[in-house]
């Protein structure tokens, strides 16, 4: 299995282009199932997770053309051979569950394997199922699959989510576009990826209002048509690379990014003493001399601080001048990077969902192991600052979500390379 080796201690100077958003693209691709005309997505990121979604859609009978080296995906779902999403693909990626709503809405039936366990917590799909049941789907869970039927089609309904779920909001939103009548999603997720999905569905002829707020209203239509839609920039990739010069030192410009995309991270980084500015070409981040200030940060649904940047922020706070607190409120088991960072000399205590981080003046390189996507990139970031060599194992996690990571960082002067075993 490939590993990544980093020699730390080099400040970063240069520019990093930001790719299309993985999580937006993973919801946009199944939207193609809602129409018999093709959906073309531009600015798609080239990542393992996107390839997995392509594999899944192909297994259902979609015709997919990847143009411009995979940055443009044209997905046709005119003739589906199957409405069954097999365990072999679904187990690789939880976002596979997003085909359930569209298949059911357009074809009246679907069989989707339940996603298996996941390293960052139980992550059930009960809210996805609840929403579809409210819209009239008959669901049966057997043999590890959700067997769903709505022979006469789905019907508009009021769906009140007991907790905010990005994926359940996306599944319900897609299903509702073809349901008879009006659907109201209450306590809906407000993430930019939801707004992007609604924009795309509207371009396909859907009638949607309120995306970006906690109440989304959808008027069902009889059919959707084809469209071309650009995937938004990846705010998590952006945040990760904003934190890179904050940890390693130096000054980096994130090309094509705007302040709004940085969300809650911008203010927290300023609070830590980093220098951020919007430029004509993007966002510039610089670390002034000296150590960063400690922070107390709680992860929350958007517009709160994203759980997907918690591990990377922890890497920064290991070097802060004082004690920081990180409270993880979205996933119950998302501190697996903490023991790995400790191997590099970080001082972290975890009690339940709360991590206390006592900043140290320097980290030391060590062999470490990636446990999930964001955890693994936090170890890369820590390695950029650490003295000596850090070797990160199990980097297939990284390839799921970061396009050309070594290339982007080495262009800014990082000493980082992939070791192929």
**E strand or H helix that includes residue 327:** strand 323-327
Q: Write down the least CB distance from residue 260 to ligand UD1, Å.
A: 18
Q: Write down the least CB distance from residue 22 to ligand UD1, Å.
A: 7
Q: Write down the least CB distance from residue 235 to ligand UD1, Å.
A: 11
For residue 358, list its beta bridge partners. 323, 347
What is the distance between the alpha carbons of residues 234 and 187, in angstroms, rounded to a whole number? 24
Query: Which CB sits closer to ligand UD1, 127 or 386?
Result: 127
Query: Which CB sits closer to ligand UD1, 49 or 253?
Result: 49
Catalytic residue list contains 412: no
What are the angstrom distances between the C-alpha of 380 and each of 49, 74, 76?
20, 33, 38
Tell me the pairing of strands 367-369 and 72-76.
unpaired
Query: What is the distance of C-alpha 131 from the center of its chain?
Result: 22
The helix/strand/coil state of 162 is coil
What is the distance between the alpha carbons of residues 325 and 314, in angstroms, rounded to a whole number? 9
Q: Is 53 left (phi over 0), alpha (psi -120 to 50) or beta?
A: alpha
Tell me the pairing of strands 250-255 and 282-286.
antiparallel
Query: Which CB sits closer to ligand UD1, 319 or 338?
Result: 338
Decide: 4 and 419 in contact? Cβ < 8 Å. yes
Query: Which CB sits closer to ligand UD1, 269 or 311?
Result: 311
Q: Write down the least CB distance from residue 7 to ligand UD1, Å.
A: 30
Q: Write down the least CB distance from residue 406 to ligand UD1, Å.
A: 22
Q: Which residues bind ligand UD1 (CB under 6 A)?
A: 23, 26, 94-95, 121, 123-128, 163, 165-168, 193, 306-308, 330-331
Query: Which CB sits closer to ligand UD1, 189 or 248?
Result: 189
What are the angstrom distances between the C-alpha of 58 and each of 64, 86, 89, 122, 145?
7, 12, 11, 28, 19
Choosing from 62, 118, 200, 412, the catalytic residue is 118
Which residue in the shown chain puts its C-beta closest to ligand UD1? 167
Decide: 77 and 54 in contact? Cβ < 8 Å. no
Residues catalogued as catalytic: 118
């Amino acid at each position: 299995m490939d590993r990544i080796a980093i020699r730390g201690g080099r400040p970063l100077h240069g520019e990093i282009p930001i790719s299309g958003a993985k999580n937006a693209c993973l919801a946009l691709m199944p939207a193609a199932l809602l129409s018999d005309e093709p959906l073309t997505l531009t600015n798609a990121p080239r990542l393992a997770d996107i390839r997995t979604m392509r594999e899944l859609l192909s297994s259902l009978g979609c015709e997919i053309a990847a143009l411009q080296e995979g940055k443009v995906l044209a997905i046709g779902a005119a003739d589906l051979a199957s409405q069954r999403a097999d365990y072999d693909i679904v187990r690789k990626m939880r976002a596979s569950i997003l085909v359930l709503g569209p298949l059911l809405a357009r074809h009246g039936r679907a069989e989707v394997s339940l996603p298996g366990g996941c390293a960052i917590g139980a992550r059930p799909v009960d809210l996805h199922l609840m929403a579809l049941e409210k819209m009239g789907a008959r669901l049966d869970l057997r043999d590890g699959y959700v067997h769903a039927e709505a022979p006469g089609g789905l019907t508009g309904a009021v769906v009140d989510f007991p907790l905010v779920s990005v994926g359940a909001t996306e599944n319900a939103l897609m299903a509702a576009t073809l349901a008879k009548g009006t659907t109201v999603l209450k306590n809906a997720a407000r993430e930019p990826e939801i707004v992007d999905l609604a924009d795309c569905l509207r371009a396909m002829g859907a009638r949607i209002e309120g995306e970006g707020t906690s109440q989304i209203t959808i008027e069902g239509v009889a059919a959707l048509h084809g469209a071309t839609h650009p995937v938004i920039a990846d705010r998590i990739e952006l945040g990760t690379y904003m934190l890179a010069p904050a940890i390693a030192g130096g000054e980096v410009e994130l090309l094509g990014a705007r302040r709004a995309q940085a969300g809650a991270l911008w203010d927290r980084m300023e609070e830590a003493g980093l220098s951020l500015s919007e430029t004509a070409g993007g966002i510039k981040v610089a670390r002034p001399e000296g150590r960063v200030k400690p922070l107390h940060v709680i992860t929350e649904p958007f517009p709160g601080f994203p759980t997907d940047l918690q591990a990377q922020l922890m890497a920064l706070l290991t070097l802060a001048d004082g004690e920081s607190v990180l409270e993880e409120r979205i996933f119950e088991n998302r501190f697996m990077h903490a023991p790995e960072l400790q191997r590099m000399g970080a001082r972290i205590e975890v009690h339940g969902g709360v991590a206390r981080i006592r900043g140290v003046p320097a980290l030391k390189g060590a062999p470490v192991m990636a446990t999930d996507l964001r955890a693994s990139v936090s170890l890369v970031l820590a390695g950029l600052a650490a003295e000596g060599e850090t070797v990160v194992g199990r980097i297939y996690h990284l390839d799921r979500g970061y396009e050309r990571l070594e290339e982007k960082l080495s262009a800014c002067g990082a000493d980082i390379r992939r070791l192929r075993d």
